[in-house]
Amino acid sequence: MRYISTRTGGDLRTFTKILLEGLAPDGGLYVPERYPEISTKELDGMRTMSYPELAYTVFSRFADDIPATDLRRIIFDTYTKERFGSDEIVPVKRIDDGLYLLDLSEGPTLAFKDIALQLLGRLFEYALDKERATLTILGATSGDTGSAAEYATRGRKGVQVFMLSPYGRMSEFQRRQMYTLQDENIFNIAVRGTFDDCQDLVKCLNEDAAFKQRYHLGAVNSINWARIAAQVPYYFWGYFRATGSNAEQVSFAVPSGNFGNVLAGYIARRMGLPIKELVVATNENNVLEEFFTTGRYRPRKSGEVVATSSPSMDISKASNFERYLFDLVGRDGTRLRELWSDLRTRGSFDLARTPEFARIGETGLVAGSSAHADRLAAIRLFSAKYSALIDPHTADGVTTGLKHQEPGVPLLCLGTAQAVKFAGTIREALGREAPLPDSYRELAELPERVEIIDANADTLKRYITEHASQHCVSPHMAYTADLIRK
Ligand SMILES: *Cc1c(COP(=O)(O)O)cnc(C)c1O
């Protein structure tokens, strides 16, 4: 398996290379030269596999330059009962006839990003060791991704993390989750300001070439292919739990922001998994719904992004969308550059009445959006009718998913976070508290380890200079990861 960039193609690269590189030098995203195909016979053999076995079988098709014994060990070390709460790793709950919940939120930070990032943390450690390289992650987070990235890299050799978060603006749960980490390679920095101030600081440090080179800091705004590849296996897993034979089709409802989760479903479908529809569910920030229903892709200005009760889906543009669009335009890099150039000059492009737009149907994607009242209604419905507690993001998926449900086609709704992470909305919907998992009870007692600074680039530079591990400073070769996108 070799990888190409969505913009110019470029040299063919191996999985390990793009794992460490992140964004392609031409600004594009890496995609497989072609998607691996899973035959019906292979599919039969996969039906009874355990989660780690299945994850290995699917993921190894994308990472074929890592020796099989090493990759197996890494994957089996990642998806354990200790880390994900049960041997199933991703429990599938039958909710009603033809309705299932695929629960992706049993990992260390109680949200679906753990599934990919827990594996990535280990893959980075492995690849860096092989290349005798180090990695410095400088990121900004408004909550969820930061904690998932920190839990994935804590204690990993050759990796250090400086994570900026807006002081006093995260939920208590999110704050405890991040700031109580005591690992020496994790640095939490609370900035007196907003999430945008945090992002500006990251950008500012990246613009100082000398500093950047010395500490190996780079832009952390792109999307790592390995994250997508690590999300493909759970679509297979969910399919097998909801069907009795490979002659059946299912649909998935996917709460979507940056389009990473649902893109993995699209790739599973391209690999041959019998998926009827992939329902792209957005909240009020409906860039994706707009594209799939009208053909117009118009990223929002940062002032246009609304703060909603499903905050991990509050996005201005859908970073991973470029990978899907690349396929939609027949992998024509010139055409893609044209669209991207329209985007730069006009702020949008429009595929309405083009053959490309007509092709969306073949890809299985449909879309819809929901608002705060819909989320509350879905949380209440699942609680009252099915005694199931869902979080506001999952509720967005459920709302649009149910609108697209068809008789005879099982619908799997992806559960992307645990309700307790969004306690305020649960209280509003149900008038009661979401129970705190045991593993989190002790968080309340742990000391918080965080540096509070003003939103000032010099202050941040001084902090990094004083705290960066000498091992991670030049002359060692180093990479800057793109684990973080929010
Ligand atoms: C990140 C996130 C999403 C959105 O996933 P994308 O891959 O960005 O589409 C949805 N729900 C939760 C809880 C998340 O953390």
Q: What is the average pLDDT value for the chain, to the nearest integer?
A: 90
Contact 68, 31 (CB under 8 A): no
Which residue is catalytic, options 81, 113, 212, 276? 113
Among the ranges given (26-35, 197-206, 336-345, 363-372), the one the predictor scored with the smallest mean pLDDT: 197-206
Is 367 near ligand 1, meaning CB less than 6 Å away? no
Helix (H) or strand (E) holding 161: strand 159-166
Using the mean position of ligand 1's atoms as its centre, give its distance from the Cα of residue 101 in Å: 16
Contact 433, 427 (CB under 8 A): yes
- Protein residue closest via CA to atom 2 of ligand 1: 312
Neighbours of 68 (CB within 10 A): 10
Best residue for ligand 1 mutational test, from 114, 170, 174, 258 (most atoms within 8 Å of Cβ): 258
Q: How confident is residue 220, by pLDDT bands cut at 50, 70 and 90?
A: very low
Report the DSSP beta bridge partners of residue 401.
Answer: none
Q: Which residue has the tokens 């053999």?
A: 45
Contact 144, 121 (CB under 8 A): no
Q: Which domain holds residue 385?
A: 88-110+239-430
Predicted pLDDT at 131: 82
Using the mean position of ligand 1's atoms as its centre, give its distance from the Cα of residue 139 in Å: 17
252 or 141, which is more confident: 252
272 or 470, which is more confident: 272
Is 254 near ligand 1, meaning CB less than 6 Å away? no
Is 111 near ligand 1, meaning CB less than 6 Å away? yes
Q: Is the pLDDT of residue 23 over 60?
A: yes
The ligand 1 atom at the shortest distance from the C-alpha of residue 145 is 15
Using the mean position of ligand 1's atoms as its centre, give its distance from the Cα of residue 247 in Å: 30
The ligand 1 atom at the shortest distance from the C-alpha of residue 258 is 8
* Residue pLDDT, tens place only, 275-302: 999 999 999 999 999 999 999 999 988 7
Instruction: Pull the structure tokens for residue 64.
Output: 């074929």
Q: Does residue 201 form part of some domain?
A: no
Contact 65, 15 (CB under 8 A): yes
Q: How confident is residue 478, by pLDDT bands cut at 50, 70 and 90?
A: very low
Query: Among candidates 273, 274, 278, which has minimal Cα distance to 366?
Result: 278
Is 146 near ligand 1, meaning CB less than 6 Å away? no
Instruction: Pull the structure tokens for residue 377.
Output: 């209604």
Q: Is the pLDDT of residue 189 over 80?
A: yes
Is 142 near ligand 1, meaning CB less than 6 Å away? no
Predicted pLDDT at 199: 80
Q: Is the pLDDT of residue 442 over 60?
A: yes
Contact 180, 446 (CB under 8 A): yes
Contacts of 486 (CB under 8 A, 6+ apart): 141, 142, 144, 145, 257, 258, 312, 315
Residue 113: active-site member: yes
Q: Residues for the chain: how many in total?
A: 486
Q: Does residue 218 form part of some domain?
A: no
Q: How many domains does the chain have?
A: 1
Q: Does residue 261 form part of some domain?
A: yes
Among the ranges given (54-63, 235-244, 315-324), the one the predictor scored with the smallest mean pLDDT: 315-324
Q: Is the pLDDT of residue 217 over 60?
A: no
Q: Kindly state the average pLDDT of the residues 29-45.
A: 95
Q: Does residue 118 form part of some domain?
A: no
* Residue pLDDT, tens place only, 391-405: 999 999 999 999 999
Is 289 near ligand 1, meaning CB less than 6 Å away? no
242 or 22, which is more confident: 242
Note the helical H segments in 391-480: 392-404, 423-430, 438-441, 457-467
- Amino acid residing at 295: G
Contact 16, 127 (CB under 8 A): yes
**Rounded CA separation 60/271 (Å):** 13
Predicted pLDDT at 484: 47
Predicted pLDDT at 472: 54
Q: Is the pLDDT of residue 485 over 50?
A: no
**Which of helix, strand or coil describes residue 9?**
strand
The ligand 1 atom at the shortest distance from the C-alpha of residue 261 is 7
The ligand 1 atom at the shortest distance from the C-alpha of residue 393 is 11
Using the mean position of ligand 1's atoms as its centre, give its distance from the Cα of residue 474 in Å: 35
Contact 281, 261 (CB under 8 A): no
Predicted pLDDT at 158: 84
Q: Does residue 253 form part of some domain?
A: yes
* Residue pLDDT, tens place only, 166-180: 998 888 888 889 999
Q: How confident is residue 216, by pLDDT bands cut at 50, 70 and 90?
A: low
Burial class (CB in 10 A: 0-12, 13-18, 19+), 160: buried
**CATH number for 405:** 3.40.50.1100
Q: Kindly state the average pLDDT of the residues 208-236.
A: 77
- Protein residue closest via CA to atom 8 of ligand 1: 258
Q: Does residue 449 form part of some domain?
A: no
Q: Does residue 197 form part of some domain?
A: no
* Residue pLDDT, tens place only, 115-143: 999 999 999 899 888 888 788 888 888 77
203 or 351, which is more confident: 351
Using the mean position of ligand 1's atoms as its centre, give its distance from the Cα of residue 255 in Å: 7
- Protein residue closest via CA to atom 15 of ligand 1: 312
Neighbours of 394 (CB within 10 A): 34
* Residue pLDDT, tens place only, 332-349: 989 999 999 999 999 999
Q: Does residue 366 form part of some domain?
A: yes
The ligand 1 atom at the shortest distance from the C-alpha of residue 262 is 9
Using the mean position of ligand 1's atoms as its centre, give its distance from the Cα of residue 103 in Å: 13
Predicted pLDDT at 305: 86
